C-alpha cells in the first residue's frame, strides 16, 4: 500500500471484526512511528496498548463510572457556524448509517456509549504525555498519531481516534498506574480489522474543497 492509498482508505472505524491483533504487528508499527516529526526532538507522546483481560477490566470500570469534567476542550470550534455544520454533517452520516432517527435520543445515547468499549476493537491504545507539554507538543502528538494510523493501514489494520476517552481520564490513569499530577491523558485509539460490510464503516464523508483551505501564491 502506498501513502496515497493509506491516506484515502483511512477512516474512523466503528465496527470491528472479532479477530485479534498480533503483538508483533503492533510492535512493528509503533517502532516505525517513532520517526514521526517532532519539534526540537522532544517526542512527547507516551502510550499504553491494551488487549485481552487488562482491556476488559478497564472497560468494565469505565462502564460503571460517571464521566468526569473534561481537562481540555475539543468542542470550542462549534462557536463558528461552518465548523458546527461540519460536525453535524458527519454526525448525520453516522446515525443515518446506523439507522437511528434524530428523535431517537435513547438509541443515539446507546450508540455513543459504545465508545467506552471502543466499538469492540480487540486492542486499544491510550495516549498521554507530561502536563508540561504545550500546544506545539500536542501538535507533535497528533502527527505521531496520524503516522500510527497510516502504518496500521499498511498492515491491513484500521483505527478510530477517541477523544471521548478524556471523559474517563482519571479511571484510565489509575488503571495504567499513571501520576495524575504529571500526566495529561489525551485520547484513545481503537485498533483492529474493520468489518467491511458494516454500514457505519461505509457512509460517505465530506471534505472541504481544496481551494477553501489552501492558497497557492507565486504560480502566475
What are the contacts of 16-20 at 24+ separation with CB within 8 A?
16/119, 16/120, 16/121, 16/122, 16/158, 16/190, 16/192, 16/193, 16/194, 16/195, 17/192, 17/193, 17/194, 17/195, 18/120, 18/122, 19/122, 19/192, 19/193, 20/51, 20/122, 20/123
Residue 166: what pLDDT? 96
How many domains are contained in the chain? 1
Q: What is the domain-level CATH number for residue 39? A: 3.40.109.10
Q: If you search the block for the grid coordinates 482491556, which residue do you land on?
A: 55
Percent pLDDT > 90 in the chain is 89
**Is 147 a domain residue?**
yes
Domain span at residue 158 reads 15-72+115-197
> What average pLDDT does range 191-208 have in this prediction?
95
**Is 6 a domain residue?**
no
**Is 82 a domain residue?**
no
Q: What pLDDT, in 10s, does the model give residues 30-86? A: 999 999 999 999 999 999 999 999 999 999 999 999 999 999 998 899 999 999 999
**Is 62 a domain residue?**
yes
pLDDT over 90 at 162, yes or no? yes
pLDDT over 90 at 113, yes or no? no
> What average pLDDT does range 109-128 have in this prediction?
93
Closest to 202 in 3D by CA, of 99, 101, 97:
97
- Say which residue, 74 or 181, is predicted with more confidence: 181
Residue 203: what pLDDT? 93
Taking the whole predicted model, whether its pTM rises above 0.85 is answered as: yes
Residue 220: what pLDDT? 81
Residue 111: what pLDDT? 87
**Is 3 a domain residue?**
no
**Is 5 a domain residue?**
no
Closest to 161 in 3D by CA, of 119, 203, 113:
119
Q: What pLDDT, in 10s, does the model give residues 75-91? A: 899 999 999 999 999 99
**Is 9 a domain residue?**
no
Q: What pLDDT, in 10s, does the model give residues 146-159? A: 999 999 999 999 99
> What average pLDDT does range 169-198 have in this prediction?
98
Q: Are strands 158-162 and 183-192 parallel, antiparallel or unpaired?
A: antiparallel
d(CA 192, CA 200): 15
- Do 150 and 10 meet the contact criterion of CB atoms below 8 Å apart? yes
- Do 174 and 190 meet the contact criterion of CB atoms below 8 Å apart? no
Residue 53: what pLDDT? 97
Torsion angle of alpha carbons 168, 170, 173, 175, nearest 10°?
-80
**Is 189 a domain residue?**
yes
Amino acid at each position: 500500500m502506498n501513502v496515497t492509498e493509506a491516506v484515502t482508505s483511512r477512516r474512523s472505524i466503528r465496527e470491528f471484526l472479532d479477530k485479534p491483533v498480533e503483538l508483533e504487528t503492533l510492535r512493528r508499527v509503533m517502532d516505525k512511528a517513532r520517526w514521526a516529526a517532532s519539534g526540537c526532538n522532544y517526542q512527547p507522546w507516551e502510550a499504553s496498548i491494551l488487549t485481552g483481560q487488562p482491556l476488559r477490566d478497564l472497560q468494565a470500570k469505565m462502564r460503571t463510572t460517571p464521566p468526569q469534567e473534561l481537562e481540555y476542550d475539543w468542542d470550542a470550534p462549534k462557536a463558528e457556524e461552518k465548523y458546527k455544520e461540519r460536525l453535524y454533517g458527519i454526525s448525520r452520516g453516522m446515525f443515518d448509517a446506523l439507522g437511528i432517527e434524530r428523535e431517537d435520543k435513547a438509541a443515539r445515547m446507546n450508540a455513543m456509549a459504545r465508545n467506552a468499549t471502543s466499538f469492540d476493537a480487540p486492542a486499544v491504545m491510550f495516549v498521554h504525555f507530561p502536563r508540561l507539554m504545550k500546544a506545539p507538543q500536542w501538535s507533535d502528538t497528533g502527527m505521531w498519531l496520524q503516522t500510527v494510523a497510516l502504518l496500521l493501514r499498511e498492515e491491513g489494520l484500521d483505527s478510530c481516534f477517541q477523544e471521548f476517552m478524556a471523559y474517563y481520564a482519571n479511571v484510565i490513569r489509575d488503571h495504567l498506574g499513571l501520576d495524575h499530577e504529571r500526566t495529561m491523558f489525551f485520547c484513545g485509539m481503537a485498533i483492529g480489522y474493520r468489518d467491511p460490510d458494516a454500514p457505519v464503516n461505509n457512509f460517505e464523508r465530506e471534505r472541504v474543497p481544496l481551494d477553501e483551505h489552501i492558497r497557492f501564491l507565486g504560480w502566475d
